[in-house]
Structure formats: structure tokens, C-alpha cells
A and B are shown apart, each in its own frame.
Chain A
Amino acid sequence: MKISSVKIISLLFFVLSAFYLYTANQIQVFAFDVNSPFNAKTFPIYLGYAGMFFAGLQILLPEKSVEKVNHKVLDYKKVIYLVIIMIFYGLTILKVGFFLSTSIFLLLSYYFLGERRWKLMLIFSFPFVAVFMFLLHGALNIYLRDPLLKYLGIIG
């Protein structure tokens, strides 16, 4: 039996399902509900078994063709950069405010994806976000928390 990446993913899913089943069994139901034909943990328990069943089949049955992914041609570096930028965006959006954090997020994303036309990059970051915020405020009446713009007196 070949140990392919798909089988490893299936094994992980099997473990996840087993953990899910364990956690489902730990769900505290009301005393009067314990012997009920259906309570809060019934469906999750079935799902845990179903997950183990399908993952088990995928592990045990031989594969028609092994899914080959050429990792050498995949650009993991850029994806990791983008994920880090998104996490950074999530961390700053409330503290710094929507305008600055979004503009910086866009600017950094353009840069790490290989864009170097600074004029375009700047147009599609700060002014773009400003127009977007104006539309949200003006057209859809959605309030966006922005301590920086509030401090500058641009928004109320």
C-alpha cells in the first residue's frame, strides 16, 4: 500500500473525526435529556462515526492514481507572506483603524506579489480605501471604527 499525501490527509481526518467523536461524547446535556432518543450530542456522534468511516475507506482502499503535486513549482513564499499580511491586518484593523490598516494591507500585498509601479500602488491603496469608506458611510450607512480618522477629526 502506497502512503500518498491523500492518505496522510485522510489519516488526519480520521484522527480529527475521532477527536470530534470524543468531544461530542463530552457534551453536557440536561439530565432530563440524557435518555431522550435525540439530544444535543446525537447528531455530532453520528458525524464522528461517518467521518471515521469515510476516512477509513480512503485510507484502506487502494488509490487509482496517486495525486502528485510538484511542490517545487509552488510559490509557498508568496502565500506565506500574504497570510502574514492578512494576520497583521486582522491585528491592526481595530487598533489602528480601517483606513490606515486596509491601505497598508493593500500596499504590502501589491509589493509582495511583485508589483513595483508605486504610483498605481498608491492610487489603489489610500485613495481607493478612502472612496470605499466614503461609499460605506454615505451609501450604505455603515459605521467603521477608525481611531486615527476620529483623532484627525475626519469622521465623527
Chain B
Amino acid sequence: MIEGILIGLNTALSLKNILMVVMGCFFGTIIGMLPGLGPMTAIALMIPITYGFDPATGLILMAGVYYGAVFGGSTSSILINAPGIPGTVATSFDGYPMAQQGKAGKALAIAAYSSFAGGTIAAIFLLFAAPSLSKISLSFRSPDYFALMILGLTAVAAFSSKGQFLKAMMMAVLGLMLACVGQDTLSDIPRFTFNNMNLSDGISFVLVVMATFAMSEALTIILRGTDPSSAAKAISLKELGSIKLDKDETKKTLKTIPRSSVIGFIVGVLPGAGSTIASFLAYGMERNFVNKEEKEKFGKGSVHGLAAPETANNAACSGSFVPLLTLGIPGSGTTAVMLGALLGFGIQPGPRLYMTNPEIFWSVIMSMYIGMVILLILNLPLIPYIARILAVPRTFLIPMILFFSVTGIYLMSFNTFDIFLMIGIAVVATGLRLYKFPMPPLILAFVLGGLMEENLRRSLLISDGSFNFLWDRPLTAIILAFTILIFSWQSYISLKSK
């Protein structure tokens, strides 16, 4: 492990990679502050740029964007009660009341320290958990992987969209359907290409991500007539006050951080759960941990109430890298985008990544620490200035997002067919968004489609066409049992509420 850490440090501490972390954190903070544009959009816009770099640098940049977006989301939650991303909704419960009491600077500082500590502690957990899990996951066979992917999709569908389970499952199936377009990987037989040569290589992952996130989010903003940059304008005008914490506030923050880090990390590791559930769970748990007097302060500017969700959502971000790096199966929409980008580099994350590409594995973990430090020292004092840069009118912001989306896909293929396909998918996705059809399950399914078919193929061929492989191995059966449990629970909730 020491050797791995040194390899990781060597890669992560190169000037280029430090610059990437700084850029990623900065860009992520900007996008994260804009309500409606989350980390997935930020990462999607970054993918075409990362193809100019080596895989480690590309992944480091994307990880920086991820953390930056979560931090940026907290800033708008605290200062103007407009969470940039769902993972920071719980932050606004106590962060915004603190800001209203004239303690905006302190609230931001608590959020920054908690995020830093949560992310760092979770990165330490990741440091120990990932290699051990990698070794365990080497014993996984095709049926286990297939079952795990079904579990991942079901979990993301169940948790990413509250009360929209069937819609989410439909989106997951649509993602898998899109993944099947193009030549079959084994026989090279064209499928769903309708004799169009442009589709014979399949639909590009970047195209689908750009269309369903960056482009459709931009179109949704125009359709709804909202102005995301108004949030930034409001932030830039806000008086922050002192960012220094007193003894009592420091003590309270320090008390909250360890328990919320553990909750955040565990929830982050679970497929589908992610930072939103982690932050709400940590907030609720923290309310139970504190004494009666502190309990009454919750919702009115409690330090515990602010530190808990902030610690947990960043810890969950680090935790979500565990299934990606060790099993090659992303647990959330954001890590699914990262997996897609890695596959684009020709790298298959999974248990062997630890051995075949140790520099990627370790440098990502090491860059997390660097990212946390950068977020702390760079973003905290610079928030009003970053917001000022961001306060561009939407009449300029939206065309820029569309420009980067179209140009991004054009620069990858130099094929105008891809532009038209992207516009078509974006228009459909915009319509689906209006009726609350969630997009993360579609992306996750699209990324996992090829791997899922491959593992089902192997499993069925080994078992001679019998579906016994689903319960022959205890591990497969256990994973499937969890899937059935989630499915039954979601169906029960839906039927009960109806």
C-alpha cells in the first residue's frame, strides 16, 4: 500500500495534475452554484477536454469538478437558500438561517471545514477499503457481476427519484436499449442501425451524457424561464462577515464530523444512495445525537445541523468511488459518467485496475486530499469573487453551454450526424424532464449496457442457457435477494400511497 500511495502522490503532485485539480475545483464550484446545473453537467462538459489528457489526469480533473460542484451547491444553499444540487438541500436547513443572522461567513467556513474533514476522512476509508475490496471482488464471477449490475440499476432507480420508481425503471431500460445500438461486440452483427453507417459504431457515451444533461438542462432553463445566474448575482452582493469560528462552534463542528463522515461514507458506497440520502440521514441522526437544548436549535441556525449534512455529502462523494474503482460498477449517475469517460480512455475500472493501472487508482485517491485542501484554501475566501464572475446573464450562459455541448461532440467525431442525434435526444430528454422522468438511471444503464450483456452472455453460455446461474452461487443469490427486496419495497410504497 505504501508503494501505491507513493505512486499516487508522484502522479497527483505533478504540476499538471495539481493544475487540473485547481481547475476542476474552480469550474465545479461555479457550475455547482447554479441551481439546475449539477455535477453531472459539469463533468459532462469536461469529458471532451479530458480526452486530450492521459487517463489519470482526466479522472483527477473530473474528481475535482465533482467536489467543487458539491461545495458550490452548499454555497448557494447557505447564502441564498437555493441549493445548487439535491445533495446540499439539507445544508440550507441551518446554513441559510445562520446567513440571515449575519453569520454567512461563519456558515461558509463551517461548511468548508466540514466538507474538507468529511472528504478527507472518507478518502482515508477509501484508501483502506478499496484495495481490500478489490482483492475480494477478484473472486466475483460473471453471474455475480450481472446480478450486481441489476442491483445497481434498481437501487439508482429506487433512490435517485423519490416516488418515481417505475419512471426510473423505464429510463433504465431506455438506457440499455440505446446501449444496444450498433454492432454486437462478439459477432459484429449490426443491431438497430436501420442501415445507417453512422450508427454502426453505436451511440457515443459523451453524446448521450451531453444531450441528457448539459443540453437538456440548458433547454429546460429556457423553457421554464428561470435565470440560474440570478443566484450568483445575489451571492456576489451578500456580505459574508467574519469567517473565524469561536471555541464553541469549533467544538461542535469537531464533534459532528466523525459520526457524519462514517454515515456519509457508508451511504456513498451503497449503490444508488449518494450524497442526497447521506446528507439527510446525517442531519436526522445528528438531531438524535445532540442534547435537548441543541435539538431545539435545529432549523434555526444550528452548527451541528450545518456541519452534519456538509460532512456527509462530501464523505458520500468519496464513498461513491469505492464501487467504481473496485468493482467497475458505478453507484451513482455522477460516477457512471466517470466510468463512461474511463471506458473512452480504454480503461476498464474494476478489481484489476488496482494491479494493471496503479497510477490511476492511487492518484485519484491522492488527488482527493489535494482537492479538499484546494477547496478549503482557494474557495472559501474567494466565494464572492467567484460568484461575481458567474453572474453572467443567462442570455450568454445558455448559448455557451450549448456551444460547448455541440462543439464537444463535433470535436470528437467530426461528424454532423452526431450533432443532429444529440439535438434529437436532448429535445426528448427535455420533454421527459418536464414530467419528472429521471435521467441518472438512463446514463447508468447506458454505461453498464455493454458490460451487462457481456456478463449475461457468459453466464448463460456457461449454464447452457439455463437461468440457474442466478441462484447457483450464494453470492449471486444474495445480491439478487437484495434487488428483489428493493423492488418489492418500492412496489409496496407505490401501491400503498396509491
Contacts and interface: CB of A to CB of B under 8 A. Distances in A.
- Answer yes or no: are A and B bound together in one complex: yes
Given A6-B435, A44-B180, A106-B403, A74 B192 contact: no
B347 interface: no
Contacts of A110: 395-396, 399
Contact of B223 (A20, A63, A76): A76
A54 interface: yes
Interface stretch (B110-118, B126-134, B381-389, B458-466): B458-466
Given A27-B189, A39-B187, A51-B177, A74 B460 contact: no
B300 interface: no
A78 B224 CA distance: 10
B102 interface: no
Contacts of B52: 140, 142
Interface stretch (B167-175, B235-243, B311-319, B324-332): B167-175
Contacts of B184: 40
A75 B191 contact: no
A82 interface: yes
Interface string B151-185: 00000000000010011011001101100100010
A74 B434 CA distance: 10
Interface string A30-59: 100100111111111001001100110110
B292 interface: no
Interface centre among A6, A28, A47, A58 (most CB of B within 10 A): A47
B173 A29 contact: no
Given A6-B435, A17-B173, A87 B410 contact: no
Nearest to A57: B166
Interface in B205-252: 219, 222-225
A38 B187 CA distance: 11
Nearest to A61: B498
Q: Is the interface of B mostly helix, strand, loop or mixed?
A: helix
Contacts of A30: 187, 189
Contacts of B410: 93
Interface stretch (B62-70, B334-342, B413-421): B413-421
A79 interface: yes
Interface in B442-498: 452-453, 456-457, 460-461, 463-465, 494-495, 497-498
Nearest to A55: B170
Interface string A100-125: 00100110011001110000100010
| Size bracket, chain A contacts | 35 or more
Contact of B189 (A40, A47, A50, A109): A40
Contacts of A69: 434-435
A64 B164 CA distance: 10
B377 interface: no
Contact of A51 (B170, B189, B393): B170
Interface string B425-444: 00100111011110000000
B427 A83 contact: yes
Nearest to A109: B399
Nearest to B421: A90
A91 B461 contact: no
Given A64-B498, A73-B225, A109 B402 contact: yes
Nearest to A62: B498
A27 B191 contact: yes
Contacts of B189: 27-30, 40
B435 A9 contact: yes
Contacts of B224: 73-75
A54 B394 contact: no
A114 B22 CA distance: 34
Interface string B371-406: 000000000000000000000011110111011001
Contact of A90 (B167, B192, B423, B431): B423
A145 B410 CA distance: 11
Contacts of A145: 414
B402 A67 contact: no
A141 B304 CA distance: 51
Contacts of B2: none
A9 B437 contact: yes
B357 interface: no
Contact of A113 (B395, B452, B460): B395
B411 interface: yes
Given A51-B177, A82-B222, A37 B170 contact: no
Interface centre among A40, A57, A83, A132 (most CB of B within 10 A): A40
Nearest to A67: B435
Contacts of A155: none
Given A109-B402, A113-B395, A38 B435 contact: no
6 tightest CB-CB pairs across the interface, nearest first? A37-B465, A109-B399, A115-B395, A90-B419, A40-B184, A113-B395
20 contacts: A9-B437, A24-B192, A27-B191, A28-B189, A36-B461, A41-B191, A43-B452, A43-B456, A43-B457, A47-B177, A51-B174, A58-B170, A61-B498, A73-B225, A75-B223, A79-B223, A83-B423, A86-B419, A113-B399, A142-B52
Interface of B: 52, 163, 166-167, 169-170, 173-174, 176-177, 180, 184, 186-187, 189, 191-192, 219, 222-225, 393-396, 398-400, 402-403, 406-407, 410-411, 414, 416, 419-420, 423, 427, 430-432, 434-437, 452-453, 456-457, 460-461, 463-465, 494-495, 497-498
